[in-house]
Amino acid sequence: MTIPNNQIRAYYTDKTIRIYQAYSDIIADSALEHGTFVSPPFKIDRMTWIKPSFLWMMYRSGWAQKDANQKRILAIDIKREGFEWALMNGCLSHKPELLNNEEWKIHKSKYPVRIQWDPERDIFSQPLSYRAIQIGLSEEAVLKYINEWIITINDITNDVLTIKHLIDKGDVENAKSMLPIEKIYPYYFN
């Protein structure tokens, strides 16, 4: 079976899709208390990146050990309709060769979402042959995310640290058994 180069792999239900974000204690605690992100401490004027791939989030955050601003891992279930709105209202994060810099600046200004494809990672943070999606939300998209899309927020930092501990001591099978079951998300880009 051929694996598509770009794919969205995620844990999802009929109504929600789980995404991951890594934050500092102050932002994570506030989000858990309020059931969404509030400003301050969350900065609504900055692009925020959501990641449906658990292992890509672990790679990016160093299994919650990279730095103090990424020490808390949040599993956030959002409405699928919101997630798909983001996909429909996004443009790629890198400039296509066909556009000059000015055209690219104008093109980007029309979209509140950035789509980026990076190599998916395995449990050891090694790159795989296919790419995982990261979605950058700004402007209107951030407001929709924090006010309309979020259903639940859970702090999974302790689970993340347990999985990492199992990997480090060579108990990879038990570590793998704790990973979320992610399937290819049924969305096709035009």
CA separation for the pair 151, 109 (Å, rounded): 29
Q: Closest Cα partner for 72 from 30, 35, 39?
A: 30
Q: Which is more confidently placed, 136 or 96? A: 136
- Give the pLDDT confidence of 12-29 residue by residue, as tens digits: 999 999 999 999 999 999
* Core vs surface per residue 128-144: b (16+ CB within 10 A) or e: eeebbbbbbbbeebbeb
pLDDT of residue 190: 53
Question: Tokens 């996909």 label which residue?
Answer: 87
CA separation for the pair 165, 130 (Å, rounded): 26
The answer to whether the CB of 55 falls within 8 A of the CB of 108 is no
φ, ψ dihedrals at 90, nearest 5°? -120, 160
Mean pLDDT, range 111-139, rounded to an integer = 96
pLDDT of residue 189: 61
Tell me which long-range contacts 62-65 makes (C-beta under 8 A, separation of at least 24): 63/160, 63/161, 63/163, 63/164, 64/22, 64/157, 64/160, 64/161, 64/164, 65/161, 65/164
